[in-house]
Amino acid sequence: MSTTSLLLLALCLAFVSFIFGRQKAYAVARAHGGTRALHSLPGHYGLMVGLWCALPALAIIIGWKIFEGPIVSSLLDSSIPQAIHDKGDKAVELYKNEINNLAASGKISEESDAAKVGAANRLNSVRSYSAIALMIFSLAVAVIGAALAYRKIKTDTQARPIVEGIVRFFLVASASIAILTTVGILFSVLFESARFFQQVSIVEFVTGTKWSPQTAIRADQAGSSGSFGAIPLFLGTLLISLIAMLVAVPFGLMSAIYLAEYASPRTRAIVKPLLEILAGIPTVVYGFFAALTVAPLIRKLGESIGLSVSSESALAAGMVMGIMIIPFVSSLSDDVITAVPQAMRDGSSGLGATKSETVRKVVFPAALPGIVGGVLLAASRAIGETMIVVMAAGLAANLTINPLEAVTTVTVQIVTLLTGDQEFDSAKTLAAFALGLMLFITTLILNVIALHVVRKYREQYD
Amino acid sequence: MTEQTTQKPQADKPASAPKKDTTALVRATLARRYAAEKRFRIYGIVAIAASLSFLAVLLVSIFIKGWPAFTHTFVKLNVTLDADTLDIGPNPSSAELRAANFASVIKKSMREKFPDVKKRKEKKALYSLISTGGEYQLHDMIKADPSLVGKTIDVWLPADDELAAVIKSGADLSKPENIVTRMNEQQLGFAKILKEAGDTKTGFNKTFFTAGDSREPEQAGIRAALVGSALTLLVTFLLSFPIAVAAAIYLEEFAPQNRWTDLVEVNINNLAAVPSIVFGLLGLAVFINYFHLPRSAPIVGGIVLSLMTLPTIIIASRAALKAVPPSIREAGRGLGASDQQVVWHHVLPLAMPGILTGTIIGLAQALGETAPLLMIGMVAFIVDIPGGFTDAATVLPVQVFLWADSPERGFVEKTSAAIMVLLAFLILMNAVAVLLRKKFERRW
């Protein structure tokens, strides 16, 4: 029986026990003169029985599935002949894979090694025993749990507090998943980065100016030992993000000012959602647009005035990224501008200032901290943006700040290092995690500062 | 400001300085200030107009490029399905049928259509006008109706990608020098003859919606990617919706004011701004390398995307819960409901429209996401339609990425068309969200 059907069966059992529990609660109530005699509602008794049925069984199924793999694997290990162990870990791995494949396909050809066939058969029988044992064990626990809870149904059983306690535990657990995710991200990038920094010194990584992550496939291969100086990537990321911000900030800010201060409510109601469409378009679409429409256009324009422009110029990727970020800047700035108290505008108008003077000299300075926060958030988005640069920026790490040349970014390198088949332990793939760590830290710092600034600013006018 | 006050002599001004009245001063600069005001307004309008025209250019350019992909050109051929040329016996088994030589049938009928073609090179140019998809079509036809063997029938077979592009563009075939194509002059000549004889027609491209990926642009479709997207999104929904709602209920209704709650809240806000590719790294390191879940599978993609969309849904759900007025809760408690009964019976149903709106917006975000899925290997070349959560699959945005990378010219229109389908789904989801909000939003 597959795990899915086992889970479904357990859930069905839980539902049946819910019905039985509720029935018994009604019966108990009738004996004592109506449901008022019960401590909790009949449904709570049903839920209690259902939860007692489902939860232990689910815990067993999940625990079993987590530990089954490693235990079976170690059993397999012990059955591998010593001769193969002597050949090293790779040979053991290969041998295990062969047995696994043999066990999965069930095809036993004549040339198969008898020892391997035996191991594969044992593997299959261990697995089927494990599945049967799991089924019997978990279903037995489900029935026993339900029966125990069923017997406990009396007028004074505190079913509601029990059920609510369990539900509350789940609510807390769900809220804690956010923390688990952060911890998971941190550990996964930190752990792999640490392994990377054992092979490549952290100083070389942060200060080196040459990035060519090709490591030798064979130990005796000449030349390509790989160099991991990430400065060109950082510079490329900065350059493209800077271009993006140069596009996004003026357009976004002026749109926000116009919408908040000048536009009629009707215009605002139409234009604001239209601008927000820009933020809803998938980034892969922007990437396609940048690579196929904008980059050739810039190239042609450049050539017509005698400039040589790379077909993967930083300018194209940065500009399109800037367009994508316009709505972030505009909606965040819009929020802070509208939060500036009307009294400040009235005071300025009362002194004879024109509307634009009020905006420039009163509203803008008052909203500045919030706007800066918004711009920082937008910058962190630009730095972490992946698809546009993967599709429109270059792969080669050039150390340049010329926006007409091709540069590469941190995110592009993460994608190129990790897509395709390669060994997971090579410095090349681990480097991607080190870059991910840098990216995570940078964006985290930007976000924390931005959120702090925005929150401070909100408190000021509340 | 009145005339009198400004005309009063001012003691602190040196007597030698010419008296300047403020009104005059203001008047003198007024024209400049009004001009500045006008300019400022215009900047604002220009900024908005520019942003909106970027949007228009983006959409229009994709629409123009992608529209032709929804149609395809077919060529009418008179094919003789005789068993000898097909190399099959009388009641062919399906394996035999698969191995049958449909190519030679098509080639033969083309030779009959153009009897003048004799040279090897010319023949080759001629044969390449029909897509290999034609062979599959004949196979399917015979499989559906074995009695066709031995008959001569007229069939419309899909044209090769380059031929289709030329016919669809409506170019004047009598002036081959004006046509940008990879076809040679001879092929253009064949095309002209076919078109003038009325043997070409352009119709709806069903293949695009029924096929998986292919190396040949005219046979490539988005079905596999659509199914992959649906499976991935289903996992995302099943995981993120209950967890996000539970988290929002806890934080909004039950959480005590303490450090742990603060930490959770700060975490959620930060996760909302973590680059999506970092979630991909998490998925790769934890789910694939540690838990050994299958690569390229919708289940892993769904888990990663649900972690990514959780903050969005939690934040929206909290806002929806917060909008339910306290009087509802107090009334519930007054009638003897427990805290949880108040939430499950009263607050949550009232907040549901807002929560669903946030969920749909979060899922729309997940549908358009590409980068984290690249990390967990959903970039494979998927021909078969995935049948389950652990099959290798790809999703629509990744398919767009893969096709965009392809050097074949025919894939440009496929890419744009796939983008149009993707955008159509996003528009649909957002429209549902807006409708939900409009219909059920309550102002208290």
Residue B4: is its pLDDT beyond 50?
A: no
Per the CB < 8 A criterion, the answer to whether A213 and A190 are in contact is no
Instruction: Out of A71-80, A276-285, B12-21, give the one with best mean pLDDT.
Output: A276-285
pLDDT in tens, B29-42: 899 999 999 999 99
Q: Is residue B175 part of a domain?
A: yes
Contact at CB, B404 and A292, closer than 8 angstroms: yes
d(CA B417, CA A168): 48
Q: Band the pLDDT of A311: cuts 50, 70, 90.
A: confident
Q: Is residue B30 part of a domain?
A: no
d(CA A281, CA B54): 12
Contact at CB, A284 and B276, closer than 8 angstroms: no
Q: How far is A222 from chain B (nearest CA, A)?
A: 30
pLDDT in tens, B184-208: 777 888 888 888 887 888 888 888 8
In this predicted structure, what is the pLDDT of residue A393? 87
* DSSP class per residue in B252-267: III--SSHHHHHHHHH
Q: Which residue has the tokens 């025209």?
A: B53
Per the CB < 8 A criterion, the answer to whether A123 and A76 are in contact is yes
Mean pLDDT of B68-84: 84
Q: What is the number of CB-based contacts under 8 A between chain A and chain B?
A: 259
pLDDT in tens, B109-139: 888 888 887 788 888 888 888 888 888 888 8
Q: Are strands B200-204 and B152-158 parallel, antiparallel or unpaired?
A: unpaired
In this predicted structure, what is the pLDDT of residue A347? 94
This complex has an ipTM of 0.85
In this predicted structure, what is the pLDDT of residue A216? 53
Residue of higher predicted confidence among B92 and B353: B353
The DSSP H or E segment spanning B435 is helix B410-440
List chain B residues with CB under 8 Å of A443. 273-275, 278
**Residue B106 contacts A where some CB pair is shorter than 8 Å:** no
Residue of higher predicted confidence among B15 and B324: B324
Residues 6+ apart with CB under 8 A from B23: B1, B3, B6
List chain B residues with CB under 8 Å of A327. 51
**Residue B171 contacts A where some CB pair is shorter than 8 Å:** no
Q: Which residue has the tokens 């959602």?
A: A273
Q: How far is B401 from chain A (nearest CA, A)?
A: 6
Task: Give the closest of B46, B377, B400 to A284, CB-based.
Answer: B400
Asked if B271 and B377 sit in the same domain, the reply is yes
Q: Is residue B170 part of a domain?
A: yes
In this predicted structure, what is the pLDDT of residue B398? 92
Asked if B191 and B227 sit in the same domain, the reply is no
pLDDT in tens, A378-394: 999 999 999 999 999 88
Asked if B312 and B417 sit in the same domain, the reply is yes
Q: Is residue B64 part of a domain?
A: no
Residue of higher predicted confidence among B219 and A236: A236
Q: Is residue B34 part of a domain?
A: no
In this predicted structure, what is the pLDDT of residue B1? 40
Give the ranges where B171-222 is alpha helix by DSSP (H). 185-196, 207-210
Asked if B185 and B245 sit in the same domain, the reply is no
In this predicted structure, what is the pLDDT of residue A225? 58
Residue A215: is its pLDDT beyond 60?
A: no
Per the CB < 8 A criterion, the answer to whether B98 and B136 are in contact is no
Asked if B180 and B271 sit in the same domain, the reply is no
In this predicted structure, what is the pLDDT of residue B18? 58
List chain A residues with CB under 8 Å of B247. 171, 174-175, 177-178
Whole-prediction pTM: 0.85
Contact at CB, A191 and B285, closer than 8 angstroms: yes
List chain A residues with CB under 8 Å of B46. 254
SS3 category, B152: strand
In this predicted structure, what is the pLDDT of residue B56? 94
Question: How far, in Å, are A347, A361, B304 from residue B22 at the CA level?
Answer: 20, 21, 67
Q: Band the pLDDT of B104: cuts 50, 70, 90.
A: confident
In this predicted structure, what is the pLDDT of residue A222? 47
Q: Average the pLDDT over each of A33-42, A47-56, B349-358, B394-403 and give the range with the smallest value.
A: A33-42
Domain hosting B356: range is 223-440
Rg (CA), chain B: 33
Residue A77: is its pLDDT beyond 80?
A: no
Closest residue in A to B405 (Cα) is A391
Q: Band the pLDDT of B7: cuts 50, 70, 90.
A: very low
**Half-sphere exposure for A352 (CA within 13 Å, toward CB):** 8
Asked if B416 and B290 sit in the same domain, the reply is yes
Asked if B277 and B241 sit in the same domain, the reply is yes
Asked if B198 and B159 sit in the same domain, the reply is yes
Which of the listed residues B179, B205, B231 is the one where a domain comes to its end?
A: B205
Contact at CB, B273 and A447, closer than 8 angstroms: yes
Q: How far is B13 from chain A (nearest CA, A)?
A: 23
Where b means 16+ CB within 10 Å and e means fewer, A170-201 reads: ebbebbbbbbebbebbeebbeebbeebbeebe
Asked if B126 and B239 sit in the same domain, the reply is no
CATH number of the domain that B254 lies in? 1.10.3720.10
Q: Which of A66, A164, A177 to mutate to test the interface with B (most CBs of B within 10 A)?
A: A177
pLDDT in tens, A112-171: 677 777 777 788 888 888 888 988 999 999 999 999 988 888 888 888 999 999 999 999
Closest residue in B to A376 (Cα) is B273
Mean pLDDT of B223-245: 94
**Residue B394 contacts A where some CB pair is shorter than 8 Å:** no
pLDDT in tens, B387-420: 888 888 889 999 999 998 887 777 888 899 999 9
Closest residue in A to B60 (Cα) is A289
pLDDT in tens, A345-369: 999 999 989 999 999 999 999 999 8
Per the CB < 8 A criterion, the answer to whether B305 and B236 are in contact is yes
Closest residue in A to B270 (Cα) is A447
Which of the listed residues B174, B205, B236 is the one where a domain comes to its end?
A: B205
d(CA A18, CA A24): 10
Q: Average the pLDDT over each of A51-55, B29-33, B351-355, B439-443 and give the range with the smallest value.
A: B439-443
Which residues 189-218 in chain B show a CB within 8 A of chain A?
Answer: none
Mean pLDDT of A392-410: 85
Residue of higher predicted confidence among A398 and B46: B46
Q: Is residue B279 part of a domain?
A: yes
Q: Is residue B243 part of a domain?
A: yes
Task: Give the closest of B250, B281, B367 to A175, CB-based.
Answer: B250
Asked if B315 and B194 sit in the same domain, the reply is no
In this predicted structure, what is the pLDDT of residue B8? 47
d(CA A187, CA A405): 36
Residue B67: is its pLDDT beyond 90?
A: no
Residue B325: is its pLDDT beyond 90?
A: yes
Asked if B246 and B108 sit in the same domain, the reply is no
List chain B residues with CB under 8 Å of A167. 340
Contact at CB, A285 and B270, closer than 8 angstroms: no
Q: Which residue has the tokens 């909290």?
A: B318
d(CA A246, CA A318): 9
Domains, chain A: 3-157 (no CATH), 227-461 (1.10.3720.10)
Closest residue in A to B40 (Cα) is A356
Asked if B240 and B372 sit in the same domain, the reply is yes
How many distinct structural domains can be found in chain B? 2
List chain B residues with CB under 8 Å of A381. 273, 275
Q: Which two tokens stand for residue B387?
A: 């049948």
Q: Which of A255, A259, A335 to mutate to test the interface with B (most CBs of B within 10 A)?
A: A255
Question: How far, in Å, are A148, A191, A430, B10, B47 from residue A188 at the CA level?
Answer: 42, 5, 11, 75, 42
**Residue B294 contacts A where some CB pair is shorter than 8 Å:** no
Q: Is residue B82 part of a domain?
A: yes
Number of H helices, E strands in chain B: 20, 3
d(CA A315, CA A393): 9
Q: Band the pLDDT of B105: cuts 50, 70, 90.
A: confident
